[in-house]
Structure 1
Amino acid sequence: MTNIKITLAAALVLGICAGPVAAQDSTCPREGAEAPLALHADWIMKGWERHEGDGKFVFAEKLNKYYDLENTKGVFYDNFAPGSTQLFDNSARYGANWEALQNAARSVRHGLTGGHDAIVGETVASTTLGFVGRIDRLDGKVVAFDGRSQLGWECTAGKWKIRHELNYAWVVEPETIQSFLGKTEVAQ
């Protein structure tokens, strides 16, 4: 009976010790380039940018780093979204909705403004930041905007993925945002 107690005690200790080690494999970064606030800035400055001569914009290819395209459930809202729908419950459909706008642009440029903040837990995080953008369409029209973005992140297989998205932008005169275009600094 004593051997059974020792074996059970050893198994319990090993199980407790093994638990956190296994959990660490799926822990997402809380600081650095792969942390939520840095990813949020990268999402705007690299994910949604378009430069003259770029190939066709395909959401699933360009932004798959930021979204879980295997488990697409979430809430994605953008008042600037093209078409008749601004609210989506599927990240893949939300992203595909932007392809026509992106592909009708000669360039789409962004810059970061202010109000950056992050709340980061073990498995979920929330980030906010201010940004501006300028869309130079192929038809010659220019659309400039100022905006705010809040993203809800979930830690999935050791990487942060967007689950909730709330973006709000308003049209401005292009010269009012010119000094911010290309600005990539995220003040914490």
Structure 2
Amino acid sequence: MKITNYLLAAIAAGMFATPVLAQADAACPQEGPDAPLALHEEWIMQGWERHEGDPAFVFSKEMAKFYDLKDPQGVFWDNFAPGDTQLFTDASVYGANWEGHVNASRSIRHGMTDVNHAVVGRDTASSAIGFVGRIEPLEGNVVAFDTRSQLGWSCVEGSWKIKHELNYAWIVEPETIEQILGKRLQH
């Protein structure tokens, strides 16, 4: 009887160990193109870019790689956010808030500064980057800005997703960032 109990206990322990092993397989990348710092740079350099003639920007379509839209709760703050609100607790609402602004732009270009760093753990990470941008609206004057961005990431089903966002931007003269934007503006 004791042998049967030990055998059943061992089988039960094995059944519960399987999810732990599967969880280890679903760990998020610590380095490379799918790690937080690389994703942060991709988030700004590809996710928020706009070129004349691009289709309409729909946040849930364009940014699903970066945000957990199945569980969108988090903290998202941006002093440059359009409208009266700078703080959001839902990524879907935060992102949708930007759609009108992005779609009212002929082009939005970015360039990375040398301010970037990440601290990466197994299930959470934090990354910080510096970037500049140039917005050419369909109507109105060009807006140039310098920004510091900090993102808090959570490992969700093997992929890093933004759960915390803090962006602080300030207006600069367009010519002060031309060198950083480089050839991108010449095209």
TM-score by length of 2: 0.91
Higher helix share: 2
Structure 1 residue ranges (4+ consecutive) displaced by more than 6 angstroms after TM superposition: none
- Secondary structure in 2 matching 1:77: strand
Q: Which amino acid in 2 is paired with 1:22?
A: A
- C-alpha change, 1:22 and 1:182, in structure 2 (3 Å) is farther
Partner of 1:108: 108
Q: Which amino acid in 1 is paired with 2:60?
A: A
- Secondary structure in 1 matching 2:115: coil
Partner of 1:161: 161
Partner of 2:70: 70
**Which consecutive residues of structure 1, in runs of 5 or more, have no partner in the other structure?**
184-188
- Does structure 2 conserve the Cα–Cα contact (< 8 Å) formed by 1:109 and 1:182? no
Cα distance in 1 for residues equivalent to 2:14 and 2:103: 55
Partner of 2:175: 175
1:117-176 deviations in whole A, cap 9, x for unaligned?
111111111000100000011114100000100000011111111000000000000011
1:4-41 deviations in whole A, cap 9, x for unaligned?
25414632663575354211232111111111110000
Q: Which amino acid in 2 is paired with 1:157?
A: E
Q: Which amino acid in 1 is paired with 2:120?
A: V
Pair 1:89 & 2:89 matched: yes
Partner of 1:60: 60
* RMSD of aligned residue pairs (Cα, Å): 1.7
Higher deviation after alignment, 131-140 or 44-53: 131-140
Q: Which amino acid in 1 is paired with 2:169?
A: A
Task: Tell me how far 1:179 sits from its aligned partner.
Answer: 1.3
Task: Tell me how far 1:180 sits from its aligned partner.
Answer: 1.2
**Which consecutive residues of structure 2, in runs of 5 or more, have no partner in the other structure?**
none
Aligned residues: 183
Q: Counterparts in 2 of 1:24-63, with a 5 A limit?
A: 24-63=24-63
Cα distance in 1 for residues equivalent to 2:67 and 2:57: 16
1:33-90 deviations in whole A, cap 9, x for unaligned?
1111100000000000000111111111111110111111111000000111111111
Task: Tell me how far 1:2 sits from its aligned partner.
Answer: 4.1
Partner of 2:4: 4
